[in-house]
Amino acid sequence: MAAVPTLSAKEQEHVDLMQISWEAARMQERSTRGRKEAVEELRRLRLTGRFRDICKLKPGRSNAEHLLFKIQTGFPCSQAAQLEEDRKSEALWEYCKHLCVNWSACDFVVHPSASWLGALPDGLVYHPKEMSGFGPVHVQCIGSRSFVECKFLFCRDGVLQPKRSHSHYWHIQGEMMVTGTEWCDLLVFSREDLLVQRVYRDAALIRVMKRKLDDFFFYYYLPCLRPQL
């Protein structure tokens, strides 16, 4: 991370209040399960999405302000978005049934060493063959008939993989960065089938991501929170 700008007293207080221990982080995650308002309040004060947009941000304050507006506005709560959320439960049930894995709920996660970053995985799964044991699950429901038609996937050596340039890949890497995990299962759920592709931690990308997210938070996001602090 580049040198942190001089913070106002209120900004420093906000950063100090976000500091959290590992045990407190685990308790916070458990306490937010099923509590959307609590999750939204925690998310509002942290960077939890648009990781690729932030890391690919072009120079210039106007570009940063436009991105800040999109982050603060959020995604519209459309009927289609609600249907996708409803389909996630079905996707996770099929995932557990076909892969015979142990899935557990997981809500808002922060990493104690960078508590201004957050993640909201679609759960955690245990896999005994992985040395690290646990990894998050990222569910992507699509309206296509088959995952073969999915535009954020490409085929290499006969295996479908997420495109590294796509925002989904960056988001998955961001979830691994925040949760401290080494792998994540991407679950693509279409109208007729599902695909599970294990994505492993991209250490080089995460190093770049961490630096740019830190810079964006301290130079742009934290100052825009000032009226609310």
Structural domains of the chain, count: 1
Residue 3 lies in a domain: no
Residues 6+ apart with CB under 8 A from 40: none
CATH number at residue 92: 3.90.320.10
Query: Is residue 14 one of the residues assigned to a domain?
Result: yes
Q: Say what angle helices 203-216 and 167-179 make with each other, to 10 degrees.
A: 90
Residue 1: inside a domain: no
Q: Which contacts (CB < 8 Å, 24+ apart) does range 84-88 have?
A: 84/141, 87/141, 87/189, 88/122, 88/139, 88/141, 88/189
Which of 162, 78, 55, 175 has its CA nearest to residue 122? 175
- Say if residue 110 is exposed, middle or buried (CB neighbours under 10 Å; 0-12, 13-18, 19+): buried
Contact between 70 and 221 under an 8 Å Cβ cutoff? The reply is no
Q: List the structure tokens of 125.
A: 């799964």
**pTM of the predicted model as reported, rounded to 2 decimal places:** 0.88
Give the rounded distance of the alpha carbon of 17 from its chain centre. 22
CA 124 – CA 54 distance, rounded (Å):
26
Within 10 angstroms of residue 9's Cβ, the number of other Cβ atoms is 8
Joined tokens for residue 121: 């995985």
Whether 139 is in a domain gets the answer yes
Asked if 178 and 188 count as a contact pair (C-beta separation under 8 A), the reply is no
Report yes or no on 63 lying in a domain. Answer: yes
Residue 2 within a domain: no
Taken as a whole, the chain contains a residue count of 229
pLDDT tens by residue, the chain, 229 residues: 556 788 888 899 889 989 999 999 999 999 998 888 899 989 989 999 999 999 999 999 999 999 999 998 875 554 455 666 778 888 999 899 888 888 999 999 999 999 999 999 999 999 888 888 899 999 999 888 888 888 899 888 888 889 999 999 999 999 999 999 999 999 999 888 889 999 999 999 999 999 999 999 999 999 988 655 4
CB atoms within 10 A of CB 203: 11
Residues of the domain holding 154:
9-228
